């Protein structure tokens, strides 16, 4: 199973929808440990992405992801804009000149994105950030790829790992951003960035399952 350009576009459209649907939930999570703006900012950014997609549908996968990243950087406020924007811009490289991604390309795409998060935000594991969701997802995908799994199985492994990583942030004390100011009071709250990361990744699985 491969991932087509049309499926990448559908993934981004569904990501915009799921972020809009969960805007209040994400904002509520952020209100508990942050600036109470994650849901609003993310919804605004992905709405801009969704509006732009029809005009870039003829581009290759790399350009679609690159433009997505640039749009998020310019329209999402706070720390999330640069982090998500860098994620998509770095994820774009393996899709250069391609309309279809195989399993190796897809894993390389997410590795580039996660490397971008690390480069931009300098997170460590257990800092209670989106990296605590993305790092295990990438590990699970790469392990599945090494085992010779097909693309859908690889994405399923990533989805299970990113969901668990998101849930694991609840027990962590924040070491980055506004949440870190709360010290031990940040324990017991799910990280909003890890939550939006899970929602976005889950949409890719939904798109692939609908076309298997």
Please report the pLDDT score of residue 77 as a whole number. 80
Q: CA 26, CA 91: separation in Å to the nearest integer? A: 24
Do residues 44 and 76 touch, judged by C-beta distance below 8 A? yes
Structure tokens at 76: 């999402």
Q: What is the pLDDT of residues 185-195, one digit of tens each?
A: 889 999 999 99
Please report the pLDDT score of residue 181 as a whole number. 83
| Single pTM value for the model | 0.97
Angle at 163 between CA 48 and CA 107, to 5 degrees: 70
| Partner residues linked to 101 by β-bridges | 3
Angle, in degrees to the nearest 10, between helices 151-168 and 131-146: 150
Structure tokens at 80: 């999330």
Q: What is the pLDDT of residues 149-201, one digit of tens each?
A: 999 999 999 999 999 999 999 999 999 888 888 989 889 999 999 999 999 99
Closest residue by Cα to residue 128 from 72, 170, 97: 170
Listed in sequence order, the residues at least 6 apart from 167 whose beta carbon sits closer than 8 Å to its beta carbon are 190
Domains (ranges, CATH) in the chain? 3-210 (1.25.40.340)
Q: What is the pLDDT of residues 20-79, one digit of tens each?
A: 999 999 999 999 999 899 999 999 999 999 999 999 999 999 999 999 999 999 999 888
Q: CA 135, CA 148: separation in Å to the nearest integer? A: 20
Please report the pLDDT score of residue 23 as a whole number. 98
């Amino acid at each position: 199973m491969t991932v087509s350009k049309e499926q990448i576009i559908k993934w981004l459209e569904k990501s915009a929808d799921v972020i809009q649907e969960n805007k209040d939930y994400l904002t509520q999570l952020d209100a508990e440990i942050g600036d109470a703006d994650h849901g609003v900012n993310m919804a605004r950014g992905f709405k801009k992405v969704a509006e732009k997609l029809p005009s870039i549908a003829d581009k290759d996968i790399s350009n679609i992801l690159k433009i997505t990243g640039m749009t998020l950087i310019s329209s999402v406020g706070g720390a999330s804009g640069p982090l998500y924007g860098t994620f998509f811009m770095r994820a774009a490289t393996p899709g250069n000149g391609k309309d279809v991604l195989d399993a190796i390309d897809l894993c390389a795409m997410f590795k580039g994105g996660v490397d971008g998060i690390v480069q931009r935000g300098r997170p460590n594991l257990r800092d209670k950030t989106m990296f605590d969701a993305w790092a295990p997802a990438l590990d699970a995908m790469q392990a599945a790829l090494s085992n010779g799994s097909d693309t859908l199985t690889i994405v399923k492994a990533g989805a299970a790992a990113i969901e668990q990583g998101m849930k694991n942030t609840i027990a962590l004390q924040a070491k980055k951003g506004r949440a870190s100011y709360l010290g031990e009071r940040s324990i017991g709250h799910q990280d909003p960035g890890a939550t939006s990361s899970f929602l976005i990744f889950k949409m890719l699985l939904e798109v692939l399952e609908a076309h298997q």
